[in-house]
Amino acid sequence: MTGLFGGRGLGLGRPPLWVGLICAALAVALATAAIYPLKAVAPPVALSVVYLPAVLLISAYWGLVLGLLASLASAAAFNFFHIPPVGRFTITDARNWVALGAFILVAAVVSTIAELARSRAVEAERRRGEADLAASLARELLRGANTRTALGTTARGMSEALHIPSAAIELGAVDGMSRLALPLRNADGQQIATLLVSRNLPADTVERLRGQVVPALEALVAIALRRDAIQAEAVETEGLRRSDDLKTALLRSVSHDLRTPVTAIVTAGHALAARSLTDDERRELSAAVVEQGGRLAALIDKLLDLSRLQSGRAESQPEWISIEEVLLAAREALPVPAAELRLAVGEDVPPVRADAAQLQQAFSNLLENAWRYSNGRPVSVVARRAGGHVVVRIVDQGPGIPRPEQERIFEPFYRGLQADNGWKGSGLGLAIAKGFVEANGGTISVDSLPGQGSSFVVELPISQLQEATVA
């Protein structure tokens, strides 16, 4: 492959003229020399044919004019060196005049035919070059996933192939500034891109760019842009489908979680009306109604938190808060013996600016999660200062989280394995914790070794203002 044009480029010219002259001289000299040994086996007059390959060669490469020149030179050399009287341009024998005339005629015909063949070959080459150019432009433009980057490669390939110093293709109408801007339009005549080339190009190259390159590029860029639009649509559709899948999973999960307490309450209510009810049963059933009602209320609160977070309406109202107080409040909100949730807050932990209620909810969810999975083994909660952050680490001795699940546990409605004690959460607590921590400028992550436990890490920024007052 010799570049985009597959041939000699836009020049398509013959080899230089001076080379042609030297070649012609050499070829005529060679033929003249070759005739000497042949004179032993054939009459000199018949040997003029030896010049024909030389004439043919020159015409084929340098065209008719040099071909005819080579013919005349051959005739002269033949006359001078081989037609008696040798060493002079005079011809005594009339037959030799005829032979020389015939030779010139044949040579002229050969030259013409060669020139014809040559120009046909050149034309074919040019057409092939155009087809190659279009094909490579198409390949470059349509292969890449991204049309913008593909335009860069295409322009580079084109400038190499056309031997022009630089070329660029920009989407949309672009001001050429110091460069020549050739507009690329779609079928509706709307400018979709601009081909930028140097202003110092030869006129025929520019003509060629306008005549052949621009139309091909216009069609291809239009296709590439249409393809981009279709791909974007496909991506969007896929996104919608995924979000639909998520909503279906969500609905299923919520419907089960809501239905279970509702079923318990409804059945207990009916059972309370039973004729054969004992006092013990009445107490049990009424306790069940209260408990399941509480469970329902908690779930509804979580769903509301989540929907506020997802709709971006969970605006935090930052104030100066003490991490220790937030952690204590979070622990108090849980039905957990204090010994099972051990708090340790470093003395160097400064107050942070955050929404107290949101952080308390976030930590409450994290502590509950750790405690539920620990099955009675103590959970340690350590807060300390690290650089510009307050780092709170919640370490449990639960079953741990398998690595593939670690990335997903913060997704809403994702539920990990059931805890040893059979507890299974709503799949919302960690998503809400993450949402509230992030709403307050913090980050949350998990580190877990299956079989040994998990460690949830919350990092909250210490504000610059705070640094200033502390210093």
Partner 1 sequence: MSPAVPADGAGAIGRARVLVVDDETQILRALRVILRDAGFEALPADSGEEALDVAAVQRPDAAIVDLVLPDLDGVEVCRRLREWSEMPIIVLSAVGEEDAKVRALAAGADDYVTKPFGPRELIARLQAVLRRSSDPPGDVVIRADGLELDLAARMVRRDGADVHLTPTEFDLLRVLARNRGRLITSRELLQTVWGAGYTEDTQVLRAHVANLRRKIEPEDGPRYIKTDPGVGYRFSA
262 belongs to the binding site for partner 1 (CB under 8 A): yes
Positive or negative, the Cα torsion across 129, 133, 134, 135?
Answer: positive
- The residue among 402, 405, 306 whose CA lies nearest residue 358 is 306
Closest CB to partner 1 among residues 281, 447 = 281
State the minimum distance, in angstroms, from the CB of residue 212 to partner 1: 58
Radius of gyration of the chain (CA): 45
Show the CA angle centred on residue 249, arms to residues 253 and 308, nearest 5°: 75
Tokens of 114: 């060669």
Q: What is the dihedral of CA 253, 257, 263, 264, to 10 degrees?
A: 150
State the minimum distance, in angstroms, from the CB of residue 398 to partner 1: 18
268 belongs to the binding site for partner 1 (CB under 8 A): yes
State the minimum distance, in angstroms, from the CB of residue 274 to partner 1: 4
State the minimum distance, in angstroms, from the CB of residue 348 to partner 1: 46
271 belongs to the binding site for partner 1 (CB under 8 A): yes
The correct pick among 255, 307, 421, 443 for binding partner 1 (CB under 8 A) is 255
Tokens of 418: 């059931």
Helix, strand, coil % in the chain, rounded to nearest 5: 60, 15, 30
Closest CB to partner 1 among residues 263, 307 = 263
Among 149-157, 220-228, 257-265, 369-377, the segment contacting partner 1 (CB under 8 A)? 257-265
What one-character-per-residue DSSP string does 320-334 give? EE-HHHHHHHHHHTS
User: How many amino acids of this chain bind partner 1 (CB under 8 A)?
Assistant: 27
Closest CB to partner 1 among residues 295, 389 = 295
Among 48-56, 247-255, 350-358, 462-470, the segment contacting partner 1 (CB under 8 A)? 247-255
State the minimum distance, in angstroms, from the CB of residue 233 to partner 1: 30
Question: What would the x/- binding string for partner 1 be over residues 419 to 448, using CB under 8 A?
Answer: ---x--------------------------
Conformation bin of residue 43: beta by default, left when phi > 0, alpha when psi is -120 to 50: beta
Closest CB to partner 1 among residues 241, 283 = 283
Among 52-60, 189-197, 266-274, 358-366, the segment contacting partner 1 (CB under 8 A)? 266-274
User: Measured between alpha carbons, how far is 330 from 367 in angstroms, rounded to an integer?
Assistant: 8
- The residue among 307, 299, 453, 456 whose CA lies nearest residue 367 is 456
**DSSP 8-state symbol, 93:** -
Tokens of 203: 């006129």
Phi first, then psi, for residue 112 (nearest 5°) are: -60, -45
418 belongs to the binding site for partner 1 (CB under 8 A): yes
Count Cβ atoms within 10 A of the Cβ of residue 242 and give its class: 0-12 exposed, 13-18 middle, 19 or more buried: exposed
Sites for partner 1 among residues 273-332 (CB under 8 A): 274-277, 281, 284-285, 288, 291-292
**Encoded amino acid at 225, one letter:** L
State the minimum distance, in angstroms, from the CB of residue 250 to partner 1: 11
CA distances from 44 to 29, 47, 109, 115, 254 (A): 16, 5, 22, 29, 109
State the minimum distance, in angstroms, from the CB of residue 193 to partner 1: 51
State the minimum distance, in angstroms, from the CB of residue 258 to partner 1: 9
Among 233-241, 260-268, 319-327, 331-339, the segment contacting partner 1 (CB under 8 A)? 260-268
**DSSP 8-state symbol, 42:** S
Closest CB to partner 1 among residues 220, 268 = 268
User: Measured between alpha carbons, how far is 16 from 26 in angstroms, rounded to an integer?
Assistant: 16
Closest CB to partner 1 among residues 290, 449 = 290
256 belongs to the binding site for partner 1 (CB under 8 A): yes
266 belongs to the binding site for partner 1 (CB under 8 A): yes
- What is the enclosing helix (H) or strand (E) of 458? strand 453-461
Closest CB to partner 1 among residues 243, 418 = 418
Residues that bind partner 1 (CB under 8 A): 251-252, 255-256, 259-260, 262-268, 270-271, 274-277, 281, 284-285, 288, 291-292, 418, 422
